[in-house]
Structure 1
Amino acid sequence: MRYAALHNNHYDTIACYLAAGIKTTMSTVSTLMLSEALEAPEICEAQLRSNADLVREAGQRLRKLAPPFAATLARGSSDQAAAFAKHLLEVYAGVPTLSHSPSIGSLYRRTSASFRDVPLIAISQSGRSPDLIAAAEDAKRMGALVVVIVNDEESPLAALGDITIPVRAGRESSVAATKSFVATLVALTHLVAEWSEDDGLRQALPTIAPALRAAGAQDWSNALPHLRDANDLLVLGRGPTLPIAGEAALKLKETAGLYAEAFSVAEVAHGPMTLVKNGDPVLVFGPADVSSEGLKERLEDFAARGATVIAAGAAGDIGAASIVLPMESSRHPIVQAIGAIQSFYALANALSLARGRNPDSPPHLAKVTKTL
């Protein structure tokens, strides 16, 4: 109890500093959310080493299966990881991938017979949400090969897997998932690298931990004054960074009480950008692959409307940005995308405090969400 009281006083003190505009370094704002996020490089390095044989065998099995498509099953942050898996599978393994709604299996019991011999990739940190368990059971009954990506190896979902790959993030005490999300992206990248036998993806794996360390050291605090008093926010990405934008938008809702919605850089022109007014902030995660096509022109459109464009990405793509967020651009596009969310977590943490909130314990949320 004494520790909790001291910790809450620390939140209050830092929040007051930030609200008053007193300069603080984001990396020194100590919360469980931030300290757990900064554990990600070592966790991912150990995970890749520990999972090497398991994932190699899983890749061989999936390659031999040669399914016509794959499916993902997830909610919340894990569903953003599932979107990342979709990008990996479709771009690197050439496997069309759909999102299987948990309710189809858990409530309607209408899982298609077409799932026979198809990988269903169930992603969860806790492995204890009743709807995910029921949906995975229903898919398995229909003949799906259930591939579980999970942090809790002792969970019911882990026990259901025909293939179970632990993300090995360890205990995560903050309600806001950080290290477990990053570790899940790395586990998915590892799996698809082995499944696809893509040399570039395989060679990128050893660079992930150094990239995460570098990303965690980046200072994105110049965005803080432009987001502290915002009422709503568009968060943009494309290709490998669209799921990163989705996770960022979710974390901003959870930890900062900021209404944020993620869109593809391509999709935002089909209506949503008309909502942006003079002075409104737009947060952009620029991709480092061919999906950056058109990003420069889109950001110029936002700037011409008077938007405050806050962007991370290649200099040639984000020249119209009002605020440039530092990011290394010499990495593999997938590694750079994972690094972007690592850099973002410190900003989300500082923004939560600046808005007078506790990022470790958002209101009305629990660590394990038990939906039906």
Structure 2
Amino acid sequence: VKMTHAARRDGAHTIAITNDTASPLANEADRVLDIHAGPERSVAATKTFVTSAVAGLALYADWAGDDDLRAALLYLPAQLKLAAEIDWPELRESIGQRPSLFTTGRGPAWAISGEAALKFKETCQLHAESYSSAEILHGPISIVDAGFPVLSLAAGDAAEPGLVDVADRIAEMGAQVFVTSEMCRKARRIDYVRTGHPLTDPLALIVSFYSMVERLALDRGVDPDIPRHLRKVTETV
């Protein structure tokens, strides 16, 4: 809120993307984009993550005059409904009670990889680290052993071939690597939904991930809606 106030004071035009149009942030901004997510009851936010990203993409599509992105956003609700029906049981089985795993992505899908790693920690009490597929072979790969789980999130974009190549190389080291692509040779393909645009593909991937991670948390005896040590609102000091 203070950053928004400072930006507006110095002449910036500020836009708040929020689920609460009466919030202090909304009151401070010049304009408000209501994400209409409804009540977010779980401590580990999911609806607000996806709808905030959609709002940002809609804003970008308008600024850039990107008609392809506008069209993809128009049909995105139907695609996300399909994505929510995917829950990756083979990945859940591979993770089981293991204490650690990697997620990978590249480009916009790397942001989704980071969200996935965070949700593994929050909902499953599972140590997960997210890496760009351009970086994972430079050090982190040293801890991979036989059966080590890796989730590689590939969108239908220019980064897909390179990400899948890295996924295949990690699979050759003995890891259990799961990738959302048809291009894999050694890694295991898992189901996914393509949305018609590389910027909306990652949102379908994270929705499928949410379906999977809820079931994984329950399999591990954890309530995914009430993570230990976490509260819905935290105070930054």
TM over 0.5: yes
Superposition CA RMSD, Å: 1.4
Q: Secondary structure at the match of 2:14?
A: strand
Distance 2:196 2:69 in 1: 11
Count, aligned residues: 237
The 3-state SS of whatever aligns with 2:199 is helix
Q: Is the 8 A contact 1:211 1:336 kept in 2?
A: no
Question: Structure 1's 296 and 311: CA in aligned 2 closer, same or farther, altered over 3 A?
Answer: closer
The equivalences for 1:271-350 within 5 A come to 271-312=139-180, 314-316=181-183, 318-322=184-188, 324-329=189-194, 331-350=196-215
Task: Tell me by how many angstroms 1:214 deviates.
Answer: 0.8
Unmatched tracts of structure 2, length 5 or more: none
Identify the range of structure 1 (170-179 vs 325-334) with the bigger mean alpha-carbon deviation. Answer: 325-334
For the pair shown, which has the larger CA radius of gyration, 1 or 2? 1
4+ long deviations beyond 6 Å: none
Deviation at 1:211, TM superposition (A): 0.6
* One-letter amino acid matched to 1:151: N
Q: Whose helix fraction is larger, Structure 1's or Structure 2's?
A: 1
Shift in Å, 1:330:
5.9
Q: Of the candidates 48, 61, 69, which is equivalent to residue 201 of structure 1?
A: 69
Contact 1:211 1:335 in 2 (8 A): no
Cross-structure match for 1:188: 56
Is this contact kept in 1: 2:79–2:195, CA < 8 A? Answer: no
Q: What is the one-letter code of the residue matched to 1:354?
A: D
**Structure 1: which 5+ runs fail to align?**
1-132
8 Å Cα contact 2:43-2:226 kept in structure 1: yes
Query: Residue in 2 aligned with 1:33?
Result: none
**Paired residue for 2:42, among 171, 174, 177?**
174
After superposition, the C-alpha distances for 1:209-229 in whole angstroms (9 at most, x for unaligned) are 111011011231221111121
Q: Is 1:358 aligned with 2:223?
A: yes
Percent sequence identity over aligned pairs: 40
Q: CA deviation at 1:207?
A: 1.3
- After TM superposition, the score normalised by the length of structure 1 is 0.61
CA offsets, 1:282-339, max 9 Å, x none? Answer: 1110121001131232112101110000222x201x33223x3201336322222111
| Secondary structure of 1:148 counterpart | strand
Match of 1:242 in 2: 110
CA 1:225–1:166 in 2, change beyond 3 Å: closer, same or farther? same
Deviation at 1:355, TM superposition (A): 1.3
Change in CA separation of 1:230 and 1:292 when aligned onto 2, cut-off 3 Å: same
Amino acid at match of 1:331: G
Of 228, 245, 249, which residue of structure 1 is paired with 2:96? 228
**3-state secondary structure, aligned to 1:140:** helix
CA contact (8 A) 2:194 2:204 kept: no
Aligned pair 1:141/2:6, yes or no? Answer: no
Structure 2 length-normalised TM? 0.95
**Would the aligned equivalents of 1:148 and 1:158 in 2 still touch at CA under 8 Å?**
yes
> How far does residue 371 in structure 1 lie from its aligned partner after superposition?
1.1
User: Whole-Å Cα distance in 1 between the matches of residues 21 and 222 of structure 2?
Assistant: 32
